[in-house]
């Protein structure tokens, strides 16, 4: 009996060790695939990152980190449907997970599902620090007609952001203009100008708003001339200057700007419209 007891005990001990080894091996594999996935992702190989996160997920379907990373790469690869599924799985495990809530809000916003987007983003409103989440809420509030809320969210996002976002600037500037706060609009753009001094798109936007919204065409001209001298001359800048000179009644200078535009861009819609307007002016003068 003692012999059988020893053998049986030995079997149990062996079995216990085997189970521990299996668990340890599974955990090691899971960690291995997670680290591989992260490594591939940071190297820019999103497809390989996805494969490794999927392998880690097949080992443990309740790992929040894996589900988050999986959802992220799926979204970046254009699979929003699966990305949403995995972020929702994260929320099933932790309904307060801020990363999942914020990212779901941004994805829903990008799909035009503003009601769902607002629901997710508002649930973490107290801890909203990302520029994209603030931007999304700002634009949602603007679409809903909650102008003051929209202004507050967008102002926070613009202040935090170091990359020019035309959509935000267009809406925020329009809010100030509609509220007849022209002085605030002028100083808002003037303050942002130093941040985006060498950004072509900001300079084009700034020049357009100065002219069209604030009737300061001379300032528009100076902004673009300075950009040409200090940064670069492009067809888009020449075209905008042509438009500015036309609005100022300086038609010969407007025509000169159009002549500086390369042949590859003369089929541009705005170029054609301005060329037609100048032709009509010339006909009237003959």
Cβ 173 vs Cβ 206: under 8 Å: no
What's the mean pLDDT in 169-194?
97
% residues pLDDT > 70 (the chain): 90
- Long-range CB contacts for residues 249-252, cutoff 8 Å, separation at least 24: 251/278, 251/281, 251/282
Q: Between these two residues, 18 and 261, which has the higher pLDDT value?
A: 261
**CA dihedral for 92, 93, 95, 99, sign (positive or negative):** negative
pLDDT for position 286: 62
Whether the predicted pLDDT of 8 surpasses 60: no
How far is the CA of 140 from the CAs of 101, 102, 110, 125, 166, in angstroms?
16, 14, 11, 14, 16
Q: How many residues does the chain have?
A: 286
Give the pLDDT band (50/70/90) at residue 131. confident
Whether the predicted pLDDT of 129 surpasses 90: no
pLDDT for position 196: 97
pLDDT (tens digit per residue) in 67-122: 999 999 999 999 999 999 999 999 999 999 999 999 999 999 999 999 999 999 98
Q: How far apart are CA 118 and CA 140, in angstroms?
A: 7
Domain boundaries, the chain: 23-95
Q: How far apart are CA 129 and CA 127, in angstroms?
A: 6
Q: How far apart are CA 211 and CA 218, in angstroms?
A: 8
What's the mean pLDDT in 118-131?
79
Distance of CA 190 to the CA centre of its chain: 23
Q: What is the mean pLDDT of the chain?
A: 89
Whether the predicted pLDDT of 4 surpasses 70: no
pLDDT for position 2: 37
Cβ 234 vs Cβ 200: under 8 Å: yes
pLDDT (tens digit per residue) in 47-73: 999 999 999 999 999 999 999 999 999
Q: Which of 131-135, 224-228, 281-285 has the lowest mean pLDDT?
A: 281-285
Q: How far apart are CA 233 and CA 238, in angstroms?
A: 7
Give the pLDDT band (50/70/90) at residue 5. very low
When mean pLDDT is compared over 28-37, 95-104, 227-236, 276-285, the highest value belongs to 227-236
* Domain 23-95, CATH class in plain words: mainly alpha
Whether the predicted pLDDT of 14 surpasses 80: no
- Long-range CB contacts for residues 216-224, cutoff 8 Å, separation at least 24: 216/186, 217/244, 217/247, 217/248, 218/248, 220/244, 221/245, 221/248, 223/193
Give the pLDDT band (50/70/90) at residue 229. very high
What's the mean pLDDT in 216-228?
98
Whether the predicted pLDDT of 26 surpasses 80: no
pLDDT for position 13: 36
Whether the predicted pLDDT of 7 surpasses 80: no
**CA dihedral for 56, 60, 66, 72, sign (positive or negative):** positive
User: Given the structure tokens 């940071």, which residue do they identify?
Assistant: 42
Give the pLDDT band (50/70/90) at residue 125. low
């Amino acid at each position: 009996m003692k012999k059988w007891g020893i053998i049986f005990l030995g079997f149990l001990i062996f079995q216990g060790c085997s189970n521990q080894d299996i668990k340890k091996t599974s955990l090691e594999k899971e960690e291995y695939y997670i680290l591989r996935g992260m490594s591939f992702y940071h190297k820019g190989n999103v497809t390989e990152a996805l494969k490794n996160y999927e392998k880690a997920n097949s080992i443990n379907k309740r790992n929040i980190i894996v589900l988050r990373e999986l959802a992220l790469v799926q979204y970046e690869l254009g699979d929003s449907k699966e990305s949403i599924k995995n972020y929702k799985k994260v929320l099933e495990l932790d309904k307060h997970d801020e990363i999942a809530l914020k990212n779901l809000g941004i994805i829903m916003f990008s799909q035009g599902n503003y009601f769902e987007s607002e629901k997710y983003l508002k649930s973490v409103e107290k801890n909203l620090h990302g520029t994209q989440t603030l931007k999304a809420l700002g634009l949602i509030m603007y679409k809903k007609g909650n102008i003051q809320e929209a202004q507050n969210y967008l102002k926070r996002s613009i202040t935090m952001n170091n990359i020019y976002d035309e959509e935000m600037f267009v809406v925020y500037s329009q809010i100030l203009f509609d509220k007849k706060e022209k002085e605030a609009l002028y100083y808002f753009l003037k303050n942002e100008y130093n941040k985006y001094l060498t950004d072509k798109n900001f300079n084009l936007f700034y020049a357009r708003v100065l002219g069209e919204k604030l009737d300061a065409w001379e300032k528009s001209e100076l902004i673009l001339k300075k950009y040409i001298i200090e940064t670069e001359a492009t067809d888009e800048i020449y075209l905008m200057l042509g438009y500015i000179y036309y609005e100022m009644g300086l038609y010969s200078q407007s025509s000169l700007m159009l002549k500086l535009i390369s042949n590859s861009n003369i089929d541009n819609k705005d170029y054609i419209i301005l060329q037609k307007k100048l032709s009509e002016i010339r006909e009237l003068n003959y």
